[in-house]
Amino acid sequence: MKKALLIITTCLLAAGCSSNQVECLYNCKPTYPNHNGNINGGNINTGNVNNEQAMQALLAYLGVQVKKQWGDDEFLQAGKHRYVKYFDGYRTRAHIDFDNGKIYVSTVAQYAPEATLKKAIEETLLMPADPSQVDLFSDKSIPLNGKPFLLGQVKDHDNQDIQWPWRAGRFADYLIENKLHTKPLKRGTAYYVEIDMVSDHLEQREYQYADLIKRASRQYGISEDLIYAVVKTESSFNPFAVSHAGAYGLMQVIPKTAGADVFKLVKNKPGIPTKDYLFDPANNIDTGTAYLHILQTRYLRDVRNPTTKHYSMISAYNSGTGGVLSTFDSDRQRAMDKLNQLQPNQAYWALTNKHPKLEARRYLEKVLNFQKEFQSL
């Protein structure tokens, strides 16, 4: 582990490491120095590398490149509810705020900024729905093939869907001519446009995954409304979602924990899922739902009341079974006994007021509220 991080740290300091080399920690077996200082075939892979630290390394590399162009104050990176993609030597970026329904496309390029901005607008509007085609950790261009992810979530100035390059180009021209803004920065000027998403953009994204959620629900015996509620809480139906903890995709699956459990206990597969595997919406929803199944039927099988078990498995999806049980006692068996002595409303109160992690307290409440919304549809 220390050797793997040493490679990244040295690479970043020397500014000679590419994003592909950094990403190698997830999906390949790079070489590293042995105890004699020689280079040999390494065994570094996703299973041996701390996922959170590897993600931090990727973000650190991205930060170095972006801050060279934008400065420290303007650094922005992708998150659970936010899509951020850089282009053109990290001088141009697209930012989708899924919670507020806003798209911002900006550039700090000082040569032909309008042409640069137009290309970035087109790539953003037409980016494919397949997250594997979009490298969030580099400035690579996006291949414009397949159905656009934002189709139906954005309308052009004629209130039409944007599916084809000619319409995206025409809308980009309109935005640059009529909606172009500038902002002075320490290192120059930023040029940007702001695009409003349609009012039901969240529902438009929900529809994209309805079949996948229905399939997972039937396979693992988890209600559709719960899966929908978890996806909405975790990512706002953003398939490009990432977190500092090294979680990926719609249900924010962490490879070394939930992913590893699903591979071992459900799929009977060795190792843990890769980043690319979990960015695939079908794999992500399948893995996240399978983990809910594991929580329900294995880790929390001794919780007797079905409503209490429901509360516990939602909380455990966020914080782990250990976090749930530690709410009631430091000893796991005593904790289970105490949990089974409580009424569901008492267990809910404890998990939303006494759980060791504040995020977990809020998480249970959010998911249950969203679940009620989906039950009423």
Cβ-Cβ contacts under 8 Å for 153 (sequence gap 6 or more): 197, 198, 201, 204, 205
* pLDDT score of 41 more than 80: no
Number of other residues whose CB lies within 10 A of the CB of residue 99? 11
**Mean local confidence (pLDDT), 329-358:** 97
Amino acid 45: pLDDT: 33
Q: Which residues make Cβ contacts (< 8 Å) with residue 246, sequence separation at least 6? A: 51, 52, 54, 55, 254, 255, 256
Q: Which of 74, 234, 359, 365 is catalytic?
A: 234
Q: How many helices and strands, by DSSP H and E, does the chain display?
A: 15, 7
Q: Mean pLDDT over residues 99-110, rounded?
A: 96
CA–CA separation, 156 vs 195, rounded Å?
9
Pick from 23, 154, 19: nearest CA to 96: 154
Burial class (CB in 10 A: 0-12, 13-18, 19+), 73: exposed
Q: Which amino acid is at 346?
A: Q
| Model confidence pLDDT, tens digit, residues 334-347 | 999 999 999 999 99
pLDDT value, residue 245: 84
DSSP class of 297: I
What are the CA-CA distances from residue 351 to residues 94, 332, 340 (Å)?
38, 15, 14
Q: Report pTM.
A: 0.85
pLDDT at 9: 44
Tokens 């935005």 found at: 175
Q: Determine phi and psi for 163, rounding to 5 degrees.
A: -120, -25
Respond yes or no: is residue 194 known to be catalytic.
no
Cα dihedral angle (13, 82, 367, 293), rounded to 10 degrees? -60
105 forms beta bridges with 94, 193
Query: CA 207 to CA 7: how far, in whole Å?
Result: 43
Strand ranges of the sheet holding 188-196, from the earlier edge strand across to the other edge: 82-87, 92-97, 102-107, 188-196, 181-185
Give the tens place of pLDDT for each residue, 166-207: 999 999 999 999 999 999 998 789 999 999 999 999 999 999
Give 241-272 pLDDT, tens digit per residue: 999 888 999 999 999 999 999 999 999 999 99
User: What pLDDT is recorded for position 109?
Assistant: 94
Q: Quick check: 48 pLDDT over 50?
A: no
Whole-number Å distance between alpha carbons of 258 and 247: 10
Long-range contacts of 209-217, Cβ-Cβ distance < 8 Å, separation of 24 or more: 209/237, 209/250, 209/281, 209/285, 212/281, 212/282, 212/285, 212/286, 213/285, 213/289, 215/286, 216/285, 216/286, 216/288, 216/289, 216/290, 217/289
pLDDT interval class at 51 (50, 70, 90): low
β-pair type (32-33, 92-97): unpaired
The set of long-range contacts for 334-338, using a CB threshold of 8 Å and a minimum separation of 24, is 336/302, 336/303
Q: Which residues of 256-291 are buried (b: 16+ CB within 10 A; e: fewer)?
A: bbbbbbbbeebeeeeebbbbebbbbbebbbbbbbbb
Distance of CA 338 to the CA centre of its chain: 35
User: What is the C-alpha separation between 236 and 112, in angstroms, rounded?
Assistant: 35
